[in-house]
């Protein structure tokens, strides 16, 4: 009985987390230690102009950043705990968008991963591409 209640609580928590991820106004993406994007919410897609499918074929530091960061530079930033800052991303249509970012280290199935939260520097919302 107690294990059933624990399992039900876990399902409710995962459902709430999923709903929060999908409806957040801030862009959020999960990427692995090789900077591959594993998941992205609708706001992240709207900010970058890429669909989830397109994002899954990009790495976080290659096609999105206006200034290219090598894998070593990216990892060095994380190692310095440079988790919050500002940078310029190149949207799918080629336009540049200044964003604020926050990177939160985490683990997925015992492997190093990161959650990236992004939002426009001017605070305006960016509409999803049609």
Question: Domains of the chain by range and CATH?
Answer: 25-120 (3.30.450.20)
Q: Cα torsion at 115, 120, 124, 130 (round to 10°)?
A: -70
Q: For tokens 């190149």, what's the residue?
A: 90
Lowest mean pLDDT among 2-11, 32-41, 72-81: 72-81
**In 3D, which of 120, 115, 87 has the Cα closest to residue 20?**
115
pTM of the model: 0.76
Q: Confidence class of residue 59 from pLDDT cuts 50, 70 and 90?
A: low
What is the rounded average pLDDT for all residues in the chain? 80
Q: What are the φ/ψ torsions at residue 86 (nearest 5 degrees)? A: -135, 145
DSSP run (H or E) holding 9: helix 2-23
Report the distance separating Cα 18 and Cα 15, nearest Å: 5
What's the rounded mean pLDDT across residues 22-43?
88
What's the rounded mean pLDDT across residues 17-41?
87
């Amino acid at each position: 009985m107690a294990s059933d209640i624990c399992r039900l609580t876990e399902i409710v928590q995962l459902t709430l987390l999923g709903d929060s991820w999908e409806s957040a106004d801030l862009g959020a993406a999960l990427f692995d230690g090789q900077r591959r994007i594993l998941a992205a919410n609708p706001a992240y897609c709207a900010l970058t102009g890429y669909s989830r499918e397109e994002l899954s074929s990009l790495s976080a530091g290659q096609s999105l950043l206006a200034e290219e960061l090598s894998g070593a530079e990216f990892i060095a930033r994380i190692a310095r705990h440079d988790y919050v800052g500002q940078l310029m991303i190149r949207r799918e249509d080629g336009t540049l968008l200044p964003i604020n970012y926050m990177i939160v280290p985490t683990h997925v199935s015992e492997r190093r991963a990161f959650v990236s939260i992004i939002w426009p520097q001017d605070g305006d919302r960016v509409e999803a591409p049609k």
